Structure 1
Amino acid sequence: MVEDDDDIRRLLEVVLAQEGYVVSASATGADGLAALERRPPDLALVDVGLPDMEGYDVVRAARSRVAGHIVMLSARSQDSDARQGLEAGADAYLTKPFRPRQLREALREIVTRPVTSGGSGPSASG
C-alpha cells in the first residue's frame, strides 16, 4: 500500500490484515515502487496524492511489475480523476472517505475480477 497519511495508512493496515493480507506500507511513491520491486504484491492500494509524485505515475510504473490487482484509493472523486487512474492501469478507483466494512467488501469483489493489462475493463466506485 502506498498512502502518505499516517492515520489512513494505519487503518488500511488493519483492514487488510483482517482480510488475511500480509501488509507492506509506504508513505511515498518512490518507497512504494521500491517495495513493489522487492516483493510484487497480489493487491496494491495506491493513493493519488503523494508527497513526491502522483499516484497515477506510481500505477503506470507498477502495472508492468505487479501481476496482481492495483486499486487507487483517493479523496479525489471527480470522474476525470477515476478515468485517469483507470487509464494509468488501475483495476479500480475507490474514493475516501470509506467505511472499513465497505472497503473490505469492495476489495473482495475486485480481486475476483481479471487483472487489468493496460487500463481496460476496470471500474470506478465511491
Structure 2
Amino acid sequence: MARLPTPGSDSGSWGDVLNAYLGVGHDAAGNNVGGKILETTAATSFTLGTTYEGKRIVATAAITITVPSVGTLGNGYGVEIVNDSGGTVIIDGPGSTNVSLSDGDVAYLLEANGKQRVVTGASTLIS
C-alpha cells in the first residue's frame, strides 16, 4: 500500500515513496485520476445502454433519450443527464411515464431493486 514518506526514516528512498503515494491519485503528468465523471454530449436521440453507465450526458439539442426495459441496464446502473439544449429533452421510459427536462434541468436515472427512477430538478447556473 502506498504511503507518505516518514521523516527521518526514508533516507535515500524519500522520492520513490512520495512518487508511489502520489501515483495512486495522479497520472504521470500529474492529472487527477479516478472519481472524475466522464462526460459525453448528445445532439441526436438515442437509447441508453451500458456504455453510458456512470457518465454524464449533456444534451445539446432537444432530443429523446429512450430507456430500455427494467433489467437491461442492470441493478445499480446510474447516469446523469444535463439539458443544455435550449429546448426540452424527453426521457422516454419503458412504461407509460416519460420525464420532460426543461433547459437547465439536471436528472439522474437510477436502476435499483428492479425499478427505474429519475430524480430531476432545475440547476442554478453560477458562472
Q: Where on the TM-score scale, by shorter chain, does this alignment land: which range? A: 0.3 to 0.5
Greater helix share, structure number? 1
Larger Rg: 1 or 2? 2
Greater strand fraction, Structure 1 or Structure 2? 2
Normalization by structure 1: what TM-score? Answer: 0.33
